[in-house]
Chain A
Amino acid sequence: MLPLNATIVRINEDSPSVRTFFFDPQFETMKPGQFVMVWVRGVDEVPMGLSSKNSITVQKVGEATSKLFELKEGDSFGLRGPFGNGFSLPSKGEKTMVIAGGVGAAPLAPYAEAVRNAGSEVHTVLGARSAGDLIFEERFAEAGEVYVSTDDGSKGKKGFVTDVLSSLNLSVYDRIAVCGPEIMMASVFRLLEDRKVLEKSEFSLHRYFKCGIGVCGACCIDRSGLRVCKDGPVFSGVQLLDSELGKYMRDASGRRVKI
């Protein structure tokens, strides 16, 4: 598949460092948790989780995302995808917990909406550094109950998502979907393991991608050898037992870098 030409139709400022780019075309059949390869022509191509059928939500972190932030409505970029496996959807009547940290809320907002549309109750624990960094709080609130945590205490509980989770009864949920910074996901992973609910969980991983289509092997994780781009990016908690999660990841050359 060659890159599609995506024209920016609207840009939303979600926080000082996060923007949502709405584009034309729409991916009608996308599953929440799937990603697209976003090609900022002449610069680089990077993976981004879809935050809706026709949007990506981007944190400005490097060269490609900085260039993306210079684009205006009417400008375009290349898009390949959607790729990978999304979060699994519940059956009617099940209860789902969504745990989102920072820009990790991007693939989880459409998931929470899909869960509600499937007739399943959804509760969200949403964390960020401070009140201004909370992403998609309204979308999660629209879908169900939201518990907020901020590192600085400017909104909700002061601390991390795990501080909110420690006071919740997790055994009532049939599914737990997690996405956020790796340190946060590793803490959540340990907490879910302690509470013996890991088998209900799914995590969306972020790794350096080269091909993005499951051939090159740059994004394979230890010790399973699973490809994040094709076998993931969403993995069950059980698949991540005894894995590199929270310990290290590989850089573009394949060297292990401690987290």
Chain B
Amino acid sequence: MYTLTGLKLKNPTILAAGVLGTTGASLCRVAREGGAGAVVTKSIGPTPKTGHSNPSMVKLDCGFLNAMGLPNPSYPSFLQELEIAKKDSGVPVIASIFGGSPAEFKEVAEGLLPGKPDAFELNVSCPHAEGYGAAVGSNPCLVEAITAAVKDIVSVPVWVKLTPNVSDITCIGNAAESGGADAVVAINTLKGMAIDIESGYPILGNRSGGLSGKAVKPVAVKCVYDLYTALEIPVIGVGGVSSWQDAVEMMMAGAAAVQVGSAVYDRLDIFSEISTGIEAFLQRKGYSDVKELIGLSHEMV
């Protein structure tokens, strides 16, 4: 067992928000068949949203480009899915939420409380939804106010997911910490775009979106490294993790746990594969606890 912000995880791999998290059944499948130590839901907002028109996700040679547009059924409709995930997944379920203001975040968090999520993850980092996500998450004052507003009404841990699309991610991380965040999650996708040269049309329905997958891993490692230095609270690493080696690297940079998103494209049991790989690595290198890896690189000078 592994403890993260008070949550008990059977391993340090977590399903990232926005991936296979729209239904309770799908979250259960990722936990049971996939082997995730915890799961984060699709980001849920105050009103139903259908998201951007398709194409909403394409695979590139170096990763994935997506612009879903925060599609979600809103908190009243999502409660039944959250309840299914809580009842049958057997792992901690973290509710990802978004809003355009501290009041909206508060409304959504309050609305999901009857579903008893084990923690909340505040999405202040989606790069392609007007008025939401990174639009609020690049303003430190707003991030602090939103974090404080949610902390004020919930008794479970609150994680804040950060955008890398800012000049200094530690400044936003500090704001989350000042607002009372129990952990930060880094990183969300990097702004990106692809164009169909046959027609000249941008490929994504939203014209541009966010880059995930292998290409963003070095960016994520650097962000996690910097946040580990700047903050007292745990940093959860996410961005391009698709093997146990990636997970170990992220932890050495300072991640207390890793989230996996796009890599479910290749296989659902990527979570089991990563946690088994980490265990074997610990044994081979003679570490007694996975916690010995966290931030290791900072000492290697």
Chain A positions within 8 Å of B, measured between CB atoms, are: 1-3, 5, 37, 39, 41-46, 76, 78, 80, 209-218, 220-227, 250-256
Contact = CB atoms under 8 A, between A and B. Distances in A.
B239 to A, nearest CB: 15
Q: Secondary structure of the B side of the interface?
A: loop
B73 A210 contact: no
A39 to B, nearest CB: 6
A256 B23 CA distance: 10
A201 B114 CA distance: 41
A201 to B, nearest CB: 22
A257 B93 CA distance: 25
B196 A216 contact: no
B54 interface: yes
A250 B22 contact: yes
A252 to B, nearest CB: 4
A174 to B, nearest CB: 30
A80 B72 CA distance: 25
Contacts of B66: 211, 215-216
B265 interface: yes
Interface string B78-104: 100100000000000000000000000
Interface in B28-84: 28-30, 42, 48-51, 53-60, 64, 66, 68, 71-74, 77-78, 81
Contacts of A44: 53-54, 205
B160 to A, nearest CB: 23
B19 interface: yes
19 contacts: A5-B196, A78-B199, A210-B56, A212-B57, A215-B264, A216-B18, A216-B68, A217-B23, A220-B29, A222-B25, A224-B25, A225-B27, A225-B29, A225-B30, A226-B29, A250-B23, A250-B73, A254-B78, A255-B73
Contact of B64 (A42, A80, A210, A215): A215
Interface of B: 18-23, 25-30, 42, 48-51, 53-60, 64, 66, 68, 71-74, 77-78, 81, 194, 196, 198-199, 201, 203, 205, 261-262, 264-265
A213 B23 contact: no
Contact of A217 (B19, B59, B194): B19
Nearest to A78: B196
Nearest to A217: B20
A215 B267 CA distance: 10
A216 B203 contact: no
B61 to A, nearest CB: 9
Given A41-B201, A212-B54, A250-B23, 15 more contacts: A1-B58, A42-B201, A44-B54, A78-B55, A212-B57, A215-B64, A215-B265, A217-B20, A217-B21, A217-B23, A217-B42, A222-B23, A224-B29, A225-B20, A254-B71
Contacts of A254: 22-23, 42, 71-73, 77-78, 81
Given A44-B205, A225-B28, A3 B20 contact: no
Contacts of B22: 216-218, 220, 250, 254
A224 B72 CA distance: 20
A210 B203 contact: no
Nearest to B15: A217
Contact of A2 (B25, B30, B50, B58): B58
Contacts of B55: 3, 37, 39, 45, 78, 80, 212
Nearest to A253: B48
Contacts of A214: 264-265
Contacts of A37: 54-55
